[in-house]
Amino acid sequence: MCSVAMLSVLRSDSYVELSQYRDQHFRGNRYDQERLLKKSCTLYVGNLSFYTTEEQIYELFGKSGDIKKIIMGLDKVKKTACGFCFVEYPCLQSKTSIQWVRDEYRQDYDAGRGGYGKVVQPQ
């Protein structure tokens, strides 16, 4: 179902791992952007099958904690899924639970959409 990229959910007391991606439309300086990303409770999920549903996202990412909101990326003309979403949590989750979803679990994996890492199906 997905290959996950972290914007800023990985966290220990003094360290947050940020991806190299930066929103080019951010209004502010890089320091402000990184400070806000470190506080973010939102996870970017990319490389989804175009047939992935919001319910499937809730089912999978709910395993790592309560979900506040899911925003599915939609084609602005056709209003169909375009292969990504954002999962917003009420607070930062544990590094281990989010990494498990990112690294170890894929459902309805769409090889045609790319993807990297180890593929392990649940038992």
Say whether pLDDT at 113 is over 70.
no
User: What pLDDT, on a 0 to 100 scale, did the predictor assign at position 119?
Assistant: 47
pTM (2 d.p.) = 0.63
Q: What mean pLDDT value characterizes the chain?
A: 73
Position 72 pLDDT exceeds 90 = yes
Closest CA to 38 of 66, 15, 68: 15
What integer pLDDT is reported at residue 111 of this predicted model? 59
* Burial track 106-117 (b if 16+ CB lie within 10 A, e otherwise): beebbeeeeeee
Residue with tokens 């899911």: 70
**Is 3-106 assigned to CATH 3.30.70.330?**
yes
Alpha-carbon distance 59 to 55, whole Å?
6
User: Mean pLDDT across the stretch 84-96?
Assistant: 74
The backbone torsions φ and ψ at residue 110, rounded to the nearest 5 degrees and listed phi first, read -105, 95
Statement: residue 9 has pLDDT above 50: no
Indicate whether 102 pLDDT > 80. Answer: no
Q: Answer for the pair 7, 43: CB distance below 8 angstroms, yes or no.
A: yes
Each domain of the chain, given as residue ranges in start order, spans 3-106
Q: What is the mean pLDDT of residues 67-81?
A: 93
Residue 109 binned pLDDT confidence (cut-offs 50, 70, 90): low
More confident residue, 68 or 111: 68
Q: Which of 50, 99, 51, 89 minimizes the C-alpha distance to 69?
A: 89
Q: List Cα–Cα distances, 79 to 72, 75, 82, 102, 121, in angstroms.
A: 10, 5, 9, 27, 30
Q: Work out the pLDDT band at 56, boundaries 50, 70, 90.
A: very high
